[in-house]
C-alpha cells in the first residue's frame, strides 16, 4: 500500500458468491472448518437469502483493471414489532494493512444508505464492551450502547440445549 489514498470500490456481492467466499477466506481463514461452504452459498446466494454482503475492493498495484478484496460487511434484516424492520450488521471487517484509509467509513456509509432506502428505522450490531477501539469508533459516529443504557442482555441457547428442551426434559 503506497502513501496515496486508495479509493475503495464497494460492490454488492449478491451476484458473486465466489468473491464473497474469497474475501471470507482472507479475513476469516478459519471459517472453512465452521460452516459448510455449500450452506454459505445457498444461504447467501440462493432463492431466499439469509444475509447480504458488501465487499470492498482496491485496485491491484501495477495491474490496471484488476482489484483485490480488502474488507467486507455482512448484514441481514431483523424485526421489532414496535418499530418494524431493522438492519443488523453481523460482520464488519477491513484487513489490517488497509485500515485508516476511510474504507470502513465508506462501508458504514453504504450500509446506512441501504438501511434508509429499505425503510429500516435503525442499524443494530453487537460489540464486545472491552474492545475499546471499536466502542470509540462506533460511539464517535453516534451509536448508543443499549445494553448499558437500557439493560438489554443477549442470551443464547446452544444446539444441545435446544434438543434437550425439544425432547421435553
Partner 1 sequence: AMSYVVRPWALRDLKDVMRLIRVSIGGKSLREDGFGRDPKFGCLVAEVPPDQRSKDGHTVVGYGLYFFTYSTWKGRNIYMEDLYVMPEFRGRERGENGIISGSPSETKLMSKIAENRCSQMKFTVLDWNRAAIDFYQSHGAVDLTAAEGWHFFHLKGDALKQLARGHQGQ
Task: Looking at residues 60 to 119 of the shown chain, list those that interact with partner 1 (rule: CB under 8 A).
Answer: 74, 76-85, 88, 90-91, 105, 108-109, 111-113, 115-116
Structure letter (DSSP) for residue 66: -
Judged by CB under 8 A, does residue 132 bind partner 1?
no
Judged by CB under 8 A, does residue 164 bind partner 1?
yes
Judged by CB under 8 A, does residue 7 bind partner 1?
no
Residues contacting residue 94 through CB under 8 Å, at least 6 positions apart: 56, 70, 71, 103, 104, 107
Residues contacting residue 128 through CB under 8 Å, at least 6 positions apart: 134
127 in Cβ contact with 138 (< 8 Å): yes
* Dist. CA 147–CA 66, nearest whole Å: 43
Judged by CB under 8 A, does residue 145 bind partner 1?
yes
Q: Which of 1, 12, 18, 144 binds partner 1 (CB under 8 A)?
A: 144
Q: Which among 18, 19, 115, 2 has a CA at the least distance from the CA of 10?
A: 19
Only one of the segments 5-13, 54-62, 63-71, 155-163 lies at the binding site for partner 1 (rule: CB under 8 A); that segment is 155-163
Only one of the segments 6-14, 55-63, 146-154 lies at the binding site for partner 1 (rule: CB under 8 A); that segment is 146-154
Most distant CA pair in the chain: distance in Å?
63
Check if 79 is active-site.
no
Applying the rule CB under 8 A, the residues between 26 and 55 that interact with partner 1 are 28, 31, 34-36, 39-40, 43, 50-51
Amino acid at each position: 500500500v503506497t502513501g496515496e489514498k486508495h479509493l475503495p470500490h464497494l460492490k454488492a456481492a449478491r451476484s458473486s458468491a465466489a468473491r464473497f467466499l474469497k474475501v471470507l477466506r482472507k479475513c476469516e481463514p478459519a471459517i472453512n472448518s465452521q460452516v459448510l461452504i455449500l450452506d454459505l452459498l445457498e444461504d447467501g446466494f440462493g432463492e431466499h437469502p439469509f444475509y447480504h454482503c458488501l465487499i470492498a475492493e482496491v485496485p491491484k498495484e501495477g495491474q490496471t483493471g484488476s482489484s483485490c478484496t480488502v474488507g467486507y460487511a455482512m448484514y441481514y434484516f431483523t424485526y421489532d414489532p414496535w418499530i418494524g424492520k431493522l438492519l443488523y450488521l453481523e460482520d464488519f471487517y477491513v484487513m489490517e494493512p488497509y485500515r485508516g484509509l476511510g474504507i470502513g467509513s465508506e462501508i458504514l456509509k453504504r450500509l446506512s444508505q441501504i438501511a434508509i432506502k429499505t425503510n429500516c428505522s435503525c442499524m443494530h450490531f453487537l460489540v464486545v464492551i472491552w474492545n475499546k477501539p471499536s466502542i470509540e469508533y462506533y460511539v464517535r459516529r453516534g451509536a448508543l450502547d443499549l445494553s448499558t443504557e437500557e439493560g438489554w442482555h443477549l442470551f443464547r441457547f446452544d444446539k444441545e440445549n435446544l434438543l434437550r428442551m425439544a425432547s421435553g426434559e
